[in-house]
Amino acid sequence: MKILLRLAISLALAALLLWGFGRWSGLSWRELFGSWREVDFATWVTALGLHAGVYVLRAWRFQLLFPPAARPGIGPLLAVGSAHNLAAYVLPAKTGEASFVLYARRACGVSGSQALASLITSRLLDLCTVCAGLGVACLFLATGRGAAPAWFAPLGAALSVLAVFIGLLAWKSHWLVAIFTKLAQLTRLDRTRLGKRADGLAIKVVAALREAGGEGRVIKAALVSAPLWLGIFMFYGVLVRGLGLSDTIDLSQAALGSGLAVVANLLPINGFAGFGTHEAGWVLGFGALGVPKDLATATSVGVHLIQLGNVVLFGLLGHIALALIPSRN
């Protein structure tokens, strides 16, 4: 019942935000949701191939973060990652993230703490890489293009520093557990039943996080994160040009506009499948580059619909593969 209520709230929030964007941009619903049709078949196939490559690299990164003795095969992890990404994308308040642990235990036979450690470290690496990419894009645009707003340089510097800090947390991700434990003590959460259960889980997870960071595995995973996010930015760049946003949009501009959309989607409270928050980040990023609000809004929805279609396609294939893989739990 709670899940249905959260889903209803998520759908209502997405509808409200999209209605607001439509009114603000002056676009009709047909213009707002019809822009994806401008993408030709060759562009869609290129974007689909890039998206598939991102899934393979993400599965490889998950694999690297498991200790060698418990390391699953790339095939099962690809199925787990595809199914998990669909759940994380459409379920409200990031509740779908927990599906990775459940799917990995069933299909790969790993412990829940090891799967959670791999997921936590991967998400930290994602955040580190996207902040670094945004920081570099802002600094490049600030120094190389006179039309860039003055605040690009300090924003780029701040994002670069933040990327270093998050990268340190990814390398020493067990520090997160220490921070949580300290906060639980200060707030006296550790004296509650929920707090005691969380503390017991934290003890297991901290050992798994140390394992994930051992033998340079985080460094290897970070090296995979670079081409992974390059593929994501190229995916958005291909669709940006396919939707006619501009033939002059380069990779740094695509990284800035799409990167802010990605960051907005990391918020714990957002609409269904990120609708509304994705568009807000996209319009903010490309609007700062001088793209008219109606064109930025229309392309944001078009890209989002194509991305959602790919996520659903890969997610369904992942669930089919999981059904065919014998349970190892």
User: Do 277 and 271 contact (CB within 8 A), yes or no?
Assistant: yes
In the predicted model, is pLDDT for residue 275 greater than 80? no
Terminal-residue alpha carbon distance, the chain: 28
Confidence category of residue 255, pLDDT binned at 50, 70, 90: confident
| Residue range 275-290: mean pLDDT, rounded | 78
Residue type, 121: T
Between 125 and 216, the more confident residue is: 125
Q: Please list, in sequence order, all residues whose beta carbon lies within 8 angstroms of the beta carbon of residue 113, skipping any fewer than 6 positions away.
A: 201, 204, 205, 207, 208
pLDDT in tens, 54-109: 999 999 999 998 888 888 999 999 999 999 998 888 776 566 788 999 999 999 98
Q: Which of 152-156, 203-207, 253-257, 295-299 has the highest average model confidence (pLDDT)?
A: 152-156
**In 10 A of CB 187, how many CB atoms?**
11
Distance CA 292, CA 296 (A): 6
Listed residue (89, 202, 87) closest to 100, CA to CA: 87
3-state secondary structure 62-77: HHHCCCHHHCCCHHHH
Token digits of residue 66 = 């498991």
DSSP structural state of residue 246: -
Supply the pTM of this predicted model.
0.83
Q: pLDDT tens-digit profile of 30-69?
A: 666 677 778 889 999 999 999 999 999 999 999 998 888 8
- Domain positions in the chain are 50-322
